[in-house]
Structure 1
Amino acid sequence: MRIDQVALIPVYVAAGTALLALLVDLIAPGRRGPVVVTTALGMAGTAAAAIAVGVGGGRRTSLCLGPDQCSLVLNPASAIVAGVFAGLALGTLALSVPLLRTGEVPVGEYCFLLAASLTGAVVLGGARDLITLIVALETLTLPLYLLVGLRRGAREGAAAAVTFFVVSVASTAVALLGAALVFTATGGVHFADIAGRPVAPGAKPLLEVGVVLLLTGLAFKVAAVPAHAWAPATYDGAPLPVAAYLSTSSKLGGVVALVLVGVSAARPVLSSSGLTLAALAVLSMTVGNLVALRQRRMVRLLAWSSVAQAGYLLAPLGALIAAGDVTPLLVAATIGYAFFYVLLEFSAFGALVAVRGARDGGAIADYRGLARRSPWPAGVLVLALAGLAGLPPGLAGLFAKMAVVQALLGGNATWLAVIVAINAVIGLAYYVRVGATLFVPAEAPATTPGEALDQAYDGEKAGEFAVPGGGRAPWPVVTAVAVAATIAVIVGFGPELVMRAAATFG
């Protein structure tokens, strides 16, 4: 086996960050600052290493049995994906500062789990065989079970973690069964072997069943129907920063895995792969939007919205049924939409942390009058909701939906484009409702008008957002929200840069 150690540097940096977080916590027990700073530097170093090696150094391969049998490929596209994962982890750490200050979670363990999850995410983008792919996905996901339930004395967090774990185990079992059937039918686990080897006529049905099971199991990571039931309870029971990471990194990881399996590996059975992905897309966007209409809690609404967004993410891959071949436009629409989605979703959760702290998202009615009390986080939340709905000023989300429809029309899947358009209109109902709530005067303000103005504007003068109850969002939260919202605005004006990079993935 040939091993290129340089290609593994980003993985080493991420894993070393996790171990170093525990070590610093042992050396300086009870001190949050050194652990958080060490973890943040390690995450930034992971992004820098991935970009430097993958983009600056060109295409590198490692863990290779032969010329086309490499388990890890680090090229510009996979390096950018690893950098995005590192950015999400670093942003989540910034959002977690209010949670870490209260002492509700042990700092060392929290930072270790977050960095351990990042390690799996870094490997995922470059995985080129089924074993590496599934191990990387589980490494990304396993720490999240503990992060969801890590908060001391929170029963809802423990219940959410158990729900998440049970559904995940079942989905992983389905994915492993599918991988076993694919190996039985093709005799290979590397994507190049599965896609390139001729399949015996008698083995093709076995390969089709294996691909369908594998894609269905992986759909759990993106909270696609029917593996979606865990998302609302888990998001609502987890601390807000953990929910932000879960709804972005897990979703992006699932999309990457589905693209690698459904497109790169499943070329001999693209019609079956496309049919499976189309069915998942239609069910997810329809169920997610219809149930989101009835939600009264903010995080549950975002959770059901993310189920619907999973449908939009998978729709371009569903066009493989009619297209009959893989086109860069289909891959670019899916990966590009995923990038726009994680920016907007992270901005939405960041705004919630800025105005409510890290514990609970509360009811939608609690946000009445937010635009007057805390105008800047309210503006970020409006931007995120508009983008998720595909409306201005969220130009990134608007372009993402246009790219999906264009890809479907170009792939001769007009019927799927019509379903996407109908669901986008349904989604407007709850996105606009929540956005309008921010501008409705509060029924019974908890403070006098003078105190409310002080709470709303004193934080702005200090460069911080005001939090209900007189507190202020720490500067790391403000920075993370501002950076995410700024990037979302910038890519809204230059989306072609994202789409060009997304087209090279695979």
Structure 2
Amino acid sequence: MSSQSVGHFALLPLYAAAGTAILALLADLFTGRRAAITGVTLLGTLATAVCAVLAANAEPTFCATGGCSWIPTGAAATTAVLFAGLTAGVLAFSLPALRIGTAPAGEFCFLLACSMTGGVTVAYAGDLITLIVGLETLTLPLYVLVGLRRFAPTERVTSDPAAASLTFFLISVVSTAIALLGVALNYVATGVVHLASLGPAQASVFAPIAGVGAALLVIGLAFKVAAVPLHAWAPATYDGAPVPVAAYLSTASKLGGILALVTVVSRLETRAVVTILAILTMTIGNLVALRQTRMVRLLAWSSVAQAGYILAALAIGEPGAVAALAYAGFFVVLELVAFGVVVALRPQGGDGGTLADFRGAGRRSPWLGAALILAFAGLAGLPPGLAGLFAKLSVVDALIDANWTWLAGVVVLNAVIALAYYVRVSAALYTLPPRVGFSVADPVLLDEAIHPHLPVPRPVAIAVAAAVTAAVALGFAPQLLLNALT
């Protein structure tokens, strides 16, 4: 592929993702029908996944001296398929809320498709500029999506979506500025932006500048995965956003940040910074999660802790990259299951509720309770959540092989701490509420009186079932994902 030509075949996934956003707008303009808009968007996610598979072996494009800016690989194709699947799942979770008018379907689907386009760009990025542009394209639409819950019925919303959106925006702007400053300093010191040529600066007068640039770049990207100290936005934003959007933040948005970190950390010498971030992130995330009383906030702090495990694998540099990517793949699927169950168990258009709102939910909806138990077991790294168990073992094994046994011990210790809140919530699913103020003799009728059973919308049920199937399949055949990511 010459530097003057453009490989359109390699760009098929990007065309499909961007075309999905355009078609969602056109469907809204010419039909105004919610079914047409959401149908086009869902078909667009499928087309994006198919195009990613077809173009997996295409030649790189936008090439110049030093490397190429768009690099199709098997790992990139797998990640693009994962982004498309997460987008489809979140859209399915949102359909019941869109049906009752909590947000305009056209704007919602357009913004979601734009965010998917950014995720695809991150997956195929071959230089730092494309990587940053992809991350911002992934993140920018989410500022608006977080605040779209202002259309929801006020009695179903207990948090402030506008404040959540503003918090997310301000911290994101600061982190992006830090990341761009890191890219600039690294370019000044090395003259390199293509990932293929990226590496630690050789001994020279510019080596300290390159080191500072690499550290700033990692710190800026750490925001995307809600790593400490750039984590404070996550709980407030997750709890203030519509629950499906919080699911997207916790899965697709975090996956984009992880990909960017893996790309940078595996090529630059940033072990000290990443090690400190990993220890602080997993420890603070788990300790604060112990005190949470709201479901989405608990999932948010759990997500912070999970990011710490991924950073622990990245602390050893390139040898831990595969383990980090595998952990990310398992984590986002399990997190999607957890958020999908929360959507199914809560009123349409409502927030995530408190932990008390989920007491007895496993009795009222056995299969949803089982799905949430599976997700929590996987996130904790226990059977029957085999996908999460393999993910934890892959990180610990990579650390031990690199003679970082002490950090592996920190990971195991934090995994034990996390058991406390996962077990507490899991037990609540099958615990009957107290009888105070009620004279109902039958405890099941009492449970139904306090927390009435809600019918599960069909799109949510299908999406949760698909996510559970993917989690179980990955648990029994983890090598499939591992091979796809390498």
After TM superposition, the score normalised by the length of structure 2 is 0.94
Q: How many residues align?
A: 473
Distance of 1:107 and 1:153 partners within structure 2 = 12
Give CA deviations for 1:218-270 in whole Å, capped at 9, x if unaligned.
00010110110000000000011000011001111111000111113x2xxx2
TM superposition shift of 1:468: 5.9
Match of 1:300 in 2: 297
- Residue 195 of structure 2 is aligned to residue 180 of structure 1: no
Change (3 A) 1:399 1:120: same
- Residue 372 of structure 2 is aligned to residue 374 of structure 1: no
Judge conservation of contact 2:360–2:433 (CA < 8 Å) in 1: yes
Judge conservation of contact 1:59–1:76 (CA < 8 Å) in 2: no
TM superposition shift of 1:274: 1.4
TM superposition shift of 1:391: 1.2
- Residue 320 of structure 2 is aligned to residue 335 of structure 1: no
Match of 1:145 in 2: 143
SS in 1 for 2:198: helix
Kindly provide the amino acid, as one letter, of the partner of residue 494 in structure 1: A
Distance of 1:446 and 1:42 partners within structure 2 = 51
SS in 2 for 1:63: strand
Match of 1:323 in 2: none
TM superposition shift of 1:200: 5.0
Distance of 1:200 and 1:319 partners within structure 2 = 21
Alignment of 1:265-276 (within 5 A): 266=268, 270=269, 273-276=270-273
Judge conservation of contact 2:357–2:451 (CA < 8 Å) in 1: no
Alignment of 1:51-450 (within 5 A): 51-54=53-56, 58-66=57-65, 68-153=66-151, 156-195=160-199, 199=202, 201-264=204-267, 266=268, 270=269, 273-320=270-317, 326-327=318-319, 330-356=320-346, 357-443=348-434
Distance of 1:470 and 1:306 partners within structure 2 = 28
Kindly provide the amino acid, as one letter, of the partner of residue 360 in structure 1: D
Judge conservation of contact 1:232–1:303 (CA < 8 Å) in 2: yes
2:460 to 463, 477, 487: 477
Q: Which moved more, 1:470-479 or 1:208-217?
A: 470-479
Kindly provide the amino acid, as one letter, of the partner of residue 370 in structure 1: A
Judge conservation of contact 1:60–1:75 (CA < 8 Å) in 2: no
Judge conservation of contact 1:355–1:468 (CA < 8 Å) in 2: no
SS in 1 for 2:149: coil
Kindly provide the amino acid, as one letter, of the partner of residue 207 in structure 2: K
Judge conservation of contact 1:81–1:125 (CA < 8 Å) in 2: yes
Give CA deviations for 1:271-322 in whole Å, capped at 9, x if unaligned.
xx111111111010000011011101111000001110000011111123xx
Distance of 2:50 and 2:224 partners within structure 1 = 26
Change (3 A) 1:400 1:88: same
SS in 1 for 2:337: helix
Give CA deviations for 1:380-418 in whole Å, capped at 9, x if unaligned.
111111111111111111111111100000011111101
Give CA deviations for 1:20-72 in whole Å, capped at 9, x if unaligned.
1011111112x210000011001110011011111xxx142111114x42101
SS in 1 for 2:71: strand
Match of 1:461 in 2: none
Task: Give unmatched runs, 5+ long, in structure 1.
Answer: 321-325, 457-466
SS in 1 for 2:150: coil
After the TM superposition, list the runs of 4 or more consecutive aligned residues in structure 1 that deviate by more than 4 angstroms: 444-453, 467-471
Kindly provide the amino acid, as one letter, of the partner of residue 194 in structure 2: H
TM superposition shift of 1:130: 0.8
Judge conservation of contact 2:337–2:371 (CA < 8 Å) in 1: yes
Distance of 1:429 and 1:423 partners within structure 2 = 10
Change (3 A) 1:4 1:447: farther
Kindly provide the amino acid, as one letter, of the partner of residue 482 in structure 1: A
- Residue 30 of structure 2 is aligned to residue 39 of structure 1: no
Judge conservation of contact 2:148–2:242 (CA < 8 Å) in 1: no
Kindly provide the amino acid, as one letter, of the partner of residue 335 in structure 1: L
Kindly provide the amino acid, as one letter, of the partner of residue 119 in structure 2: A
Kindly provide the amino acid, as one letter, of the partner of residue 197 in structure 2: D
TM superposition shift of 1:448: 7.6
Judge conservation of contact 2:84–2:116 (CA < 8 Å) in 1: yes
Distance of 1:62 and 1:144 partners within structure 2 = 29
Change (3 A) 1:32 1:451: farther
Give CA deviations for 1:118-148 in whole Å, capped at 9, x if unaligned.
0010111110111100000000000000000
Judge conservation of contact 1:124–1:133 (CA < 8 Å) in 2: yes
TM superposition shift of 1:92: 0.5
Distance of 2:374 and 2:427 partners within structure 1 = 12
RMSD: 2.1
Change (3 A) 1:384 1:290: same
Kindly provide the amino acid, as one letter, of the partner of residue 351 in structure 1: V
Change (3 A) 1:2 1:449: farther
Distance of 1:446 and 1:187 partners within structure 2 = 72
Give CA deviations for 1:446-496 in whole Å, capped at 9, x if unaligned.
99899978x99xxxxxxxxxx965542221110110010111111111112
TM superposition shift of 1:340: 0.6
Give CA deviations for 1:304-361 in whole Å, capped at 9, x if unaligned.
01110000011111123xxxxx33xx22210000011001100000001111134211
SS in 1 for 2:431: coil
SS in 2 for 1:71: strand
Change (3 A) 1:339 1:448: farther
Task: Give unmatched runs, 5+ long, in structure 2.
Answer: 153-158
After TM superposition, the score normalised by the length of structure 1 is 0.90
Distance of 1:28 and 1:447 partners within structure 2 = 53
TM superposition shift of 1:99: 1.2
